[in-house]
Amino acid sequence: MENALNLDTVVLSEDKKSIILLDQTLLPNECKYITVDKAEDIWEAIYSLRVRGAPAIGCTGAYAYYVLADKLDTTDMDEFVKECTKIMEYINSSRPTAVNLSWALNRMHSVLLAEKDSKTVAEMKVRLMEEADAIREEDIQISRNIGKYGFELLEKLGKGVGIMTHCNAGTLATAKYGTALAPMYIAIENGWDPKDMHVYCDETRPLLQGARLSAYEMQAAGIDTYVQCDNMASYTMKSGKVGIIFVGCDRVAANGDFANKIGTSGVAIIAKYYGIPFYVCAPSSTIDMTMESGDEIRIEQRKAEEVTEMWYKERMAPEGVGVVNPAFDVTDHELVTGIITEKGIAYAPFKESFEKMGILPVEKFVDKKEDQ
Ligand code: MRU
């Protein structure tokens, strides 16, 4: 079983003309890469979760901006800017909740607007490629730092610790290392035997990112790994086997409320009841200081078939029944022990803590408040 750290989730092709993505819909049974260079194919890859996880879709958004801009057949800068704006808006429409997608597109667009008067279109294309590469490189370092802070928490709990996680916020969800699974990778780098950790992965209905991706990552790293149906989390927590919970996030509001994969808020509520520390792992790009609270976060609603049919041999709900399928939920900041960023761990009151770390609102060209 290939250690997932050896797999690239998203990279630019050697000729710099397309994006190579690990197709995560096929994991863990098949490890296959796809190459995309058309706007519709990139949009589909993000929408269908071939590439998924907030930081990984951020990197994909940045490369999409560059690859599609690079194809534009114009030397007129005004025309180039107009077309890039359309690219940004189209790619951003693929998934609404994870802020990293719009964050990366906004960052690419800021570079364009700031430097358009001092560059030719050809020079600008090179500059955009460099920026997209920088976003990916930075993501690796950010994830490592989150892992280091998370590992310090594991060290305090000691070897033999039980860790619970929900969905997949591992190396597959980022450029490398992951956020919620990074502490375990860093523990191994620091000499811990993988068997010093027991990881409980919620399977994460309906798309099974926990069973298919987190369990694969942790098992391939040699860690003592368990998959549980989502409704078993309470049983495991009550058993006393869980010392800490690490989850990822798709968007954190200024007050510390955060959106993550559907089911996360239930895990947090149970953790509070049993007194288990509950940590959110968040690159600062996931913290959206333009939103005061989680009430402002738009929640992606997905197809009914993901609940009624997918993974089953035959349909498992009556025809015509109503279906609820939000992809994310918002967890109240009062349930959060701490938010682990690459700059340190934020504690309540979160807004002040973020501001002290220098995390501030960023300029938005897409995903503006009025678009929500
Ligand atoms: O729908 P997904 O698979 O993209 O959802 C992923 C999650 O909810 C992750 O926890 C989150 O994006 C953080 S990934 C570091």
Strand 198-202 to strand 338-341: parallel, antiparallel, or no bridges (unpaired)? unpaired
Q: pLDDT, tens digit, for every residue of 246-259?
A: 999 999 999 999 99
Give the residue from 233, 227, 246 showing the smallest Cα distance to 273: 233
Q: What is the predicted pLDDT for the residue at 372?
A: 63
Residue nearest to atom 8 of ligand 1 (CA): 261
According to CATH, what is the number of the domain 147-371? Answer: 3.40.50.10470
Q: pLDDT, tens digit, for every residue of 179-221?
A: 999 999 999 999 999 999 999 999 999 999 999 999 999 999 9
Task: List ligand 1's pocket residues with C-beta within 6 A.
Answer: 49, 52-55, 98, 167, 169, 173-174, 178-179, 209, 248-250, 260-261, 327
Q: What is the predicted pLDDT for the residue at 251?
A: 98
Averaged pLDDT for residues 17-22: 98
One fold for 4-139 and 147-371: no
User: CB under 8 Å to 21, separation ≥6 — which residues?
Assistant: 9, 10, 33, 34, 35, 36, 45, 50, 51, 60
Report the separation in Å between the CA atom of 331 and the middle of ligand 1, taken as the mean of its atom positions. 14
Q: What is the predicted pLDDT for the residue at 170?
A: 98
Asked whether the CA dihedral 290, 260, 339, 221 is positive or negative, the reply is: negative
Residue 22, beta-bridge partner list: 33
Domain boundaries, the chain: 4-139, 147-371
Residue 185 to residue 228: CA distance in whole angstroms: 21
Residue 249 to residue 286: CA distance in whole angstroms: 7
Is pLDDT at 309 greater than 80 in this prediction? yes
Q: pLDDT, tens digit, for every residue of 312-331?
A: 999 999 999 999 999 999 99
Report the separation in Å between the CA atom of 169 and the middle of ligand 1, taken as the mean of its atom positions. 6
Report the separation in Å between the CA atom of 95 and the middle of ligand 1, taken as the mean of its atom positions. 11
Mutation to probe ligand 1, out of 202, 208, 250, 306 (largest number of atoms < 8 A from CB): 250
Residue nearest to atom 6 of ligand 1 (CA): 53
Residue 48 in contact with residue 35, Cβ under 8 Å? no
Residue 288 in contact with residue 251, Cβ under 8 Å? yes
CATH architecture, domain 4-139: Up-down Bundle (1.20)
Q: What is the predicted pLDDT for the residue at 244?
A: 99
Mean per-residue pLDDT of the chain:
97
Report residue 1's pLDDT band, with 50, 70 and 90 as the boundaries. Answer: confident
Per-residue tokens: 28: 């863990």
Stated pTM of the model: 0.97
Q: What is the predicted pLDDT for the residue at 315?
A: 97
Per-residue tokens: 53: 């996880």
Report the separation in Å between the CA atom of 357 and the middle of ligand 1, taken as the mean of its atom positions. 24
Mutation to probe ligand 1, out of 52, 204, 258 (largest number of atoms < 8 A from CB): 52
Report residue 163's pLDDT band, with 50, 70 and 90 as the boundaries. Answer: very high
Asked whether the CA dihedral 43, 14, 98, 69 is positive or negative, the reply is: negative
Is pLDDT at 167 greater than 90 in this prediction? yes
Report the separation in Å between the CA atom of 165 and the middle of ligand 1, taken as the mean of its atom positions. 12
Per-residue tokens: 91: 């790619």
Report the separation in Å between the CA atom of 347 and the middle of ligand 1, taken as the mean of its atom positions. 22
Catalytic residue among 23, 224, 230, 250: 250
Q: pLDDT, tens digit, for every residue of 35-47?
A: 999 999 999 999 9
Report the separation in Å between the CA atom of 56 and the middle of ligand 1, taken as the mean of its atom positions. 9
Residue 163 in contact with residue 223, Cβ under 8 Å? no
User: Using CB atoms within 10 A of its CB, is residue 140 exposed (0-12), middle (13-18) or buried (19+)?
Assistant: middle
Q: pLDDT, tens digit, for every residue of 360-369?
A: 999 999 998 7
3-state SS, the chain, equals: CCCHHHCCCEEECCCCCCEEEECCCCCCCCCCEEEECCHHHHHHHHHCCCCCCHHHHHHHHHHHHHHHHHCCCCCCHHHHHHHHHHHHHHHHCCCCCCHHHHHHHHHHHHHHHHHHHHCCHHHHHHHHHHHHHHHHHHHHHHHHHHHHHHHHHHHHHCCCCEEEECCCCEHHHCCCCECCCHHHHHHHHCCCCHHHCEEEEECCCCCCHHHHHHHHHHHHCCCEEEEECHHHHHHHHHCCCCCEEEECCCEEECCCCEEEECCHHHHHHHHHHHCCCEEEECCHHHEECCCCCHHHCCCCECCCHHHHCCCCCCCCCCCCCCCCCECEEEECHHHCCEEEECCEEECCCHHHHHHHCCCCCCCCCCCCHHHC
Mutation to probe ligand 1, out of 202, 205, 209 (largest number of atoms < 8 A from CB): 209
The residue behind tokens 């397309």 is: 18
Mutation to probe ligand 1, out of 168, 208, 216, 281 (largest number of atoms < 8 A from CB): 168
Phi, psi of 197 (to 5 degrees): -125, 140
User: CB under 8 Å to 302, separation ≥6 — which residues?
Assistant: 325, 326, 327
Q: What is the predicted pLDDT for the residue at 369?
A: 76
Atom of ligand 1 nearest to the CA of 327: 1
> Order of strands, edge to edge, in the sheet holding 244-247?
224-228, 198-202, 162-165, 244-247, 278-281, 338-341, 344-346
Residue 359 in contact with residue 285, Cβ under 8 Å? no
Q: pLDDT, tens digit, for every residue of 102-125?
A: 999 999 999 999 999 999 999 999
Phi, psi of 24 (to 5 degrees): -75, -10
Report residue 350's pLDDT band, with 50, 70 and 90 as the boundaries. Answer: very high
Quick check: is 250 catalytic?
A: yes
Q: What is the predicted pLDDT for the residue at 269?
A: 98
